A and B are shown apart, each in its own frame.
Chain A
Amino acid sequence: MSALVEAADLRVHFSTSGGSETVKAVDGVSFAIRSGETFGVIGESGSGKSTLGRAVVCLLKPTAGTLKLDTTDPYALSGAAFRKNRRDYQIVFQDPNAALNPRMKIRDSVREPLDILGEGTRAERDTRALAVLDRVGLRAEFAERYPHELSGGQKQRVNIARVLTLRPKLVVCDEVVAALDVSIQADMLNLFADLQREFGLTYLFITHDLGVVSHISDRIAVMYLGKFVELATAGNIAERPLHPYTEALLSAEPVPVPSHLRRGDRIVLEGEIPSPISPPSGCRFRTRCRYAQEICATTEPEWREFEPDRFVACHFAGEVTQRRKQP
């Protein structure tokens, strides 16, 4: 499979309001997203995962590093070509309300991207909008409604329909099920899987929820304080984590199983994620890592291919973390 998205040492930095300090939201990540796969990114608040998602769809310009979309550097393109290229890379956000204009009917919101492109007649665009709405499970009657008349799950379906009208290659899903109740969330995850098969979509699936990310993803990147700490198949992440942070995240996730099926040795990380303005020296995770040694403070661990298709940044990868048995 070829790479649809390729990032090398990608960085996105912001200045603080005073301008005196720099927030290193994304601070040097390298990865390739293969065409047709679901590439999950998991991390806690402030890890930089949303910033990364926005950078991939060119909503934020990288401060440094390179980004290639289908082998093209989007920032090397002229204005018109840049906009045309961008059509193929879409994003859906967490809050289904914030993305819809409350004064526009659902049909108009879904048709709007096509209107902007100006393809076909209005009637043809309407037909396409209705077809996509139908595909995400919303009957024609919803097209005439306003956002406030829909539930959260239905609104999120509308947002998916909007990006599908453009037939994108890649959809960045930024916490798209986080605001939904669990029974609705299950429907939505099933819909994402169906649409992927049907439209040949590639997903960059950003979430803080381990259950969600491991259910939907082929490969998962674990992000901490602006950097990837581990990248592996969903199965390897869940069962054989190499990075102490991945191990701790898995262990902290509350699982709805009876006490006798629960793992006994829960790792509770101490402290909180440090500030991305002045990250710790060496390994960024070392201040909360229970395996940290001297070298972790002095030398930043290299992002290396530990095994084929398995990347990690830890001096002690493969030596400290425990294999996990699934409940």
Chain B
Amino acid sequence: MTADGTQPLLDVRGLGIFFRTGTGEVQATRDVSFTLKAGERLGIVGESGCGKTVTGLSILGLLPPGQSRVAGEVRFEGRDLLTLGQRAMRAVRGRKISMIFQEPMSALDPVFTIGQQIGETLRAHRGIGKKEARERAVDALAQVGIPLPARRVDEYPHQLSGGMRQRAMIAIALVCEPQILIADEPTTALDVTIQAQIIDLLIDLSARTGTALLFITHDLGVIAESCTRMLTMYAGEVVEDSPVDSALMRPRHPYTSGLLRSIPRLSPRKTVLPSIPGRVPPPADMPSGCRFRPRCTHGRPACEQAQPLLDVTEDRRARCIRQAELVLPGAAA
């Protein structure tokens, strides 16, 4: 149950992702828990290697089998997606939960037309014929704002620009009207004016169809403009889970605050940018207790103990024992 008493659409509990390496197993994420409600737009933000991408992939069972192991639960429609067989999972992917990626060119098949690739999803999940699939594909392209959809439907990916390819990917992902769309850095490879178009499109489609968005990105600006809630991840853990505006105004975890302050802003300052000293520890060498402790300027001896996610308010949590007493600078500061 979520704070306001409604049943969440997706309920991720204690997700732990492990990878086998030559020197043994390493843990990529630990105890990742969050919920996603219908129509909600949730952002996962963090830097390279924090575990945000593998969290997205694990929900759809897309981690390499044999090299990875996932502990915990992903509750969706009364089932644990982690226990589903391949066949049952295929009925979920693309139909109930879809995913789009950073680089649309590597996600699209270069030898099939855009229309064929949208049709493939429809025919797999809806069992409709070729002719109807093509018509639906034209509609889907129009929905995502591709000009001349009746012509574009017969074009190949290389004939489209980067922004248009990402629109085509979104059309494929949304054609079966899924309940959840996982978008992993969907605008990172795009120019800022095209990024603005795609963000507007995703917000608009989500509002129109009620599709919940799980928006994975390293860009806090993108989160601020597109999401209602955000999870901050650091070194494989969720360190803060909060409504976006509250987190930006008054972050409760020193890492969220540090990230916010290290972003160069439009106003010219030419002053020293506050940075976060040190580096993310490697997965095989995580510090005990709070994982941010070696880089944190607010550390206490108690931070050497394992840190739970603490309730800040009924809709906010932070993994910091000092969350109540610290007044950390946010974006408005």
Q: Are A and B bound to each other?
A: yes
> A257 CA to B275 CA in the complex, in Å?
18
C-alpha spacing A117/B331, complex, angstroms? 48
A190 in contact with B266 given A182-B47, A183-B258, A261-B332 (CB within 8 Å): no
Question: Does A151 sit at the interface, judged by CB under 8 A?
Answer: yes
A282 within 8 A of B: no
Interfacial residues of chain A within 226-241, with CB under 8 A of chain B in the complex: 233-235, 238
Shortest Cβ distance from residue A167 to the other chain B in the assembled complex, whole angstroms: 24
- Mask: chain A, 246-288; 1 = CB below 8 Å from B; 0 = not: 0011111111111111100010111011000000000000000
| CB pair B163 A272 closer than 8 Å | yes
B276 within 8 A of A: yes
Contacts of B193 in A (CB 8 A): 44, 248-249, 252, 268-269
- Taking the closest CB of chain B, its distance from the CB of A298, in whole angstroms, is 25
A259 adjacent to B192 (CB under 8 Å): no
Bound Cα distance A95, B26 (Å): 28
| In the assembled complex, B263 has its CB within 8 A of some CB on chain A | yes
- Contact between chains at B245 and A256 (CB < 8 Å): no
- The residues of B that contact A238 with a CB separation of less than 8 Å are 266-268
- A208 and B191: CB pair below 8 A? yes
Q: Which of B164, B192, B196, B272 counts the most chain A CB atoms within 10 A? A: B192
Which residues of the other chain, B, contact A256 by a CB distance below 8 angstroms?
Answer: 220-221, 223-224, 248, 260, 263, 331
A283 and B265 CA atoms in complex are apart in Å by 30
Decide if A127 is an interface residue (CB 8 Å cutoff): no
- Interface flag for B102 (CB, 8 Å): no
Set of chain B residues within 8 Å of A44, measured between Cβ atoms: 191-194
**Is A210's CB within 8 Å of the partner chain B?**
yes
Flag if B191 contacts A254 (CB, 8 Å).
no
Across the interface, do B224 and A214 meet the contact criterion of CB distance under 8 Å?
no
- Neighbouring A residues of B48 by C-beta, 8 Å: 152, 181
Chain A minimum-CB-distance residue to B200: A268
Q: Is B264 an interface residue (CB 8 A)?
A: yes
Whether B263 and A326, one on each chain, are in contact in the complex, defined by CB atoms closer than 8 angstroms, is: no
Q: Are B244 and A258 in touch, CB under 8 angstroms?
A: yes
The answer, among A215, A254, A273, for a CB contact under 8 Å with B221, is A254
- Whether a CB of chain B sits under 8 angstroms from the CB of A45 is yes
Residues of B within 8 A of A235 (CB): 268
Interface range for B = 35 or more
B47:A252 contact, CB within 8 angstroms: no
Say whether, besides A182-B218, A183-B47, A268-B200, A211 and B263 are in contact (CB < 8 Å): yes
Of B192, B246, B249, B259, the contact of A182 (CB 8 Å cutoff): B259
| Alpha-carbon distance A152/B222, docked complex (angstroms) | 23
* A-side contacts of B266, CB under 8 Å: 210-211, 214, 238, 250, 253, 255, 326
- Which residues in A have their C-beta under 8 angstroms from that of B221? 253-256
Q: Does A35 contact B (CB under 8 A)?
A: no
B residues less than 8 Å from A270 (CB atoms):
197
Bound Cα distance A97, B117 (Å): 35
Q: Does A297 contact B (CB under 8 A)?
A: no
B264 touches which of A151, A214, A260, A268 (Cβ 8 Å):
A214
CA distance A151 to B281 in the complex (A): 12
Residue of B nearest to A44 (CB): B191
With both beta carbons as reference points, the residue of chain B lying nearest to A218 in the complex is identified as: B270
- Is the CB of A185 closer than 8 A to any CB of chain B? yes
Q: Is A295 an interface residue (CB 8 A)?
A: no
In-complex Cβ contact of B192 among A151, A185, A253, A262 (8 A): A253
Interface 0/1 of A185-196, CB less than 8 Å to B: 111011001000
B208 to chain A, nearest CB (A): 17
Known contacts A186-B275, A258-B331, A214 near B268 by CB under 8 Å: yes
Q: In the complex where A44-B193, A254-B224 touch, is A189 in contact with B273 (Cβ < 8 A)?
A: yes
Question: How close is B313's CB to chain A, nearest CB, in angstroms?
Answer: 16
CB-based contact B275/A258 at 8 Å: no
Given contacts A257-B332, A266-B196, contact A151 B279 (CB under 8 A): yes
A218 nearest CB across to chain B (Å): 8
Taken together as a complex, chains A and B put the C-alpha atoms of A256 and B265 apart, in Å, by 9
Q: Which of B208-256 contact A (CB under 8 A)?
A: 218-226, 244-246, 248-249
Q: Contacts A181-B47, A186-B264, A268-B200 given; indicate if A249 touches B275 (C-beta within 8 A).
A: no
List 13 additional A-B contacts (Cβ < 8 Å) besides A186-B262, A186-B273, A261-B332: A45-B162, A181-B48, A186-B263, A210-B266, A215-B268, A249-B192, A252-B196, A253-B192, A253-B266, A254-B219, A254-B222, A255-B224, A268-B193
Which A positions have Cβ atoms within 8 angstroms of B?
44-45, 151-152, 181-187, 189-190, 193, 208-212, 214-217, 233-235, 238, 248-262, 266, 268-270, 272-273, 326
| Chain B residues engaging chain A, CB cutoff 8 angstroms | 47-48, 161-164, 191-197, 199-200, 218-226, 244-246, 248-249, 258-260, 262-270, 272-276, 279, 330-332
CB pairs A–B below 8 angstroms (26 shown):
A44-B192, A45-B162, A152-B48, A183-B262, A183-B276, A186-B262, A186-B273, A186-B276, A189-B264, A190-B275, A210-B192, A214-B264, A214-B266, A215-B269, A233-B268, A252-B192, A252-B195, A254-B226, A255-B265, A255-B266, A256-B223, A256-B248, A258-B246, A259-B224, A270-B197, A272-B164
